Amino acid sequence: MKGKVTLEEHFALPETFTSTTRFSKKGMGEDLRHRLMDLQGDRLREMDEFGIEFAIQSLNSPAVQAVPNVTEAIALAQRANDVLANEVVKRPDRLAGFAALPMQDPEAAAEEMKRCIKDLGFVGVNVNGFSQRENQNSLVYYDVPEFRPFWAVVEELEVPFYLHPRNPLTDQMPFFDGHPWFTNSPWAFALETAMHALRLMGSGLFDEYPKLQLVIGHLGERIPFDLWRLDHRLKKSPQGIPAKKTMREYMRNNVHLTTSGQFYDPPLHLTMHEVGVERIMFSVDYPFETTEDACVWFDDAVLTEPERLAIGRDNAIKLFNLDLK
């Protein structure tokens, strides 16, 4: 399919690259560095080769979220956003930007988000999970009351918020002891991100701000598979839950999903059944995944042509108000 639009595609600054290196295979470091730093060369050539017209770019993970010093986190987010804005203006026909945000300070995050949307022309924000604040072991999740004014600004700006994975602090989790291969992207990313998304839903955030739109990758970080059981068991929860609606209702009204790093028909079909075709958008997860793997799969996935067009292009154009014909 030609004209695809993608939205979980990453770049890095020299100083944020190191937060990713440990995830790359030995020997891949240099190639990955090149691919993360470059926003114009190979990236666009691969998009051309495999029929991607337009890609919304975001900073690598965890980057800003892993900087405990609040002043440094704010400066890093601003720098990353300025660098991205400079690259996007060179090819506004192919690229757009997501803002990186210093969530360690919700007020500063709201200010930076306004600057990115209003002055830099970004189309949304992308945050890499929880933020470490003040020290390495103190982490904040964004369902807590302190963040409600921040979410009010997100709703007011009418921009989607992409909640991107980061690794949980596995040295605090005996759970992973002796099994490091299950940390990071093979398993831990989805566990962490799904839990954060559930915290947002369960806290009643979307009852307070019903127009908020959250985006999560990897076909919903496993939530669609468990959606029926989740609501089935929550109905019987002895603790109750602050949320007024079912998780299914939030998934169908406030959440969008991408296919980043999930290039397989059965989970796609399950997800379409659970949340509806209009809430799913094609994405690659470049450069951690190859454009080829993603596109060769998607172009031949078992879909009707209207479904392929919606997931591959039109849903993203609509959600982000992209200026594409």
The Cα 213–Cα 253 span in angstroms is 8
- Minimal distance, residue 8 CB to ligand GRE, in Å: 7
* Known catalytic membership, residue 231: no
Answer yes or no: are the C-beta atoms of 165 and 223 closer than 8 Å.
no
Q: Would you give the binding string for ligand GRE spanning residues 2-41, x where CB under 6 A is met?
A: --------x---------x--x------------------
Short-list 183, 165, 104, CA closest to 129: 165
Closer CB to ligand GRE, 283 or 315, in the complex: 283
Residue 187 contact, options Zn ion, ligand GRE, none, Cβ 5-8 Å cut-off depending on partner type: none
Q: Does 291 bind ligand GRE (CB under 6 A)?
A: no
Smallest distance, Zn ion to C-beta of residue 10, A: 6
What token pair was written down for 58? Answer: 């975001």
What is the SS3 assignment for 62? coil
Report the residue number, 161 or 206, with the smaller CB distance to Zn ion: 161
Q: Are 55 and 122 in contact (CB under 8 A)?
A: no
Could you list the beta-strand ranges (E) of the chain.
Answer: 4-11, 52-59, 95-99, 124-127, 131-132, 139-140, 161-163, 214-216, 255-258, 280-281
* Residues in contact with 107: Cβ distance below 8 Å, sequence separation at least 6, in sequence order: 149, 150
By three-state DSSP, how is residue 10 classified? Answer: strand
| Candidate list 105, 143, 285, 314, residue with the active-site label | 285
Give the CB-nearest residue to Zn ion.
Answer: 285
Which letter does DSSP use for residue 50 in this model? H
Crossing angle of helices 188-202 and 223-234, in 10° steps, is 40
Secondary structure of 30-45 as H, E, C letters? HHHHHHHHCCCCHHHH
Site string for Zn ion, 203-242 (x = CB under 5 A): ----------------------------------------
Angle 15-119-313 from CA coordinates, rounded to 5°:
80
Q: Which of Zn ion, ligand GRE, none is residue 185 near (CB under 5 to 8 Å by kind)?
A: ligand GRE
288 binds ligand GRE (CB under 6 A): yes
For the chain, helix, strand, coil in percent to 5 are 50, 15, 35
Q: Quote the least distance from Cβ 165 to ligand GRE, whole Å.
A: 6
DSSP annotation of 162 reads E
User: Interface with Zn ion includes 285 (CB under 5 A)?
Assistant: yes
In degrees and rounded to multiples of 5, residue 297 shows phi and psi of -65, -55
Q: Which is nearer to ligand GRE, 204 or 267 (CB)?
A: 267
Which of 44, 65, 5 minimizes the C-alpha distance to 256? 5
Q: Which residue, 27 or 238, is less far from ligand GRE as judged by CB?
A: 27
Q: What mask, x for binding ligand GRE by CB under 6 A, covers residues 243 to 282?
A: ------------------x---------------------
21 touches which of Zn ion, ligand GRE, none (CB within 5 to 8 A by kind)? Answer: none
Choose which of 61, 78, 283, 315 interacts with ligand GRE (CB under 6 A).
61
Nearer CB in complex with Zn ion: 243/281: 281
102 contact, one of ligand GRE, Zn ion, none, CB 5-8 Å limit per kind: none
Cβ 163 to ligand GRE shortest distance, Å: 12
Cα gap 258→271, rounded to integer Å: 10
Q: Binding residues for Zn ion, per CB under 5 A?
A: 8, 285
Catalytic residue numbers read 285
Residues in contact with ligand GRE by the rule CB under 6 A: 10, 20, 23, 60-61, 185, 261, 285, 288
